[in-house]
Amino acid sequence: MISPRPKRYDVQITVKSVTTGNCSQGFKPGDTWLVRSRTPEGMCLAAFGALFNTLGVFRFGGERPHDEDRDVTLISCPDLKHQVIYELRRLRGD
């Protein structure tokens, strides 16, 4: 028997803050990208790499157990000199 495809959710990525200096890509708080089925255009490769695993979890309905809101999490960019904090928000649309 073939299992039905799992429900997929869109995920919005938002820059919450730049904690040190200025982002080398010019990202500023409030910048957003919508992830549906493709890599978001204009997203920094290093940041996307840091977000990638959690994007997959959120897109297929999974959760991170330490987050208060099961649809929202914060992830840091790997650039310690220009650290950007990203919010990932699952868009349920129910």
When pLDDT is averaged across residues 59-72 and rounded to a whole number, the result is 93
Report how far residue 6's alpha carbon sits from residue 76's, in angstroms, rounded to the nearest whole number. 28
Bridge-based pairing of strands 84-91 and 10-18 is antiparallel
Can you read off the two tokens belonging to residue 61?
């309905």
pLDDT-above-90 percentage for the chain: 63
pLDDT for res 1: 67
**pLDDT of amino acid 87:** 97
Q: Which residue has the tokens 């995920």?
A: 11
Task: Give pTM, 2 decimals.
Answer: 0.88
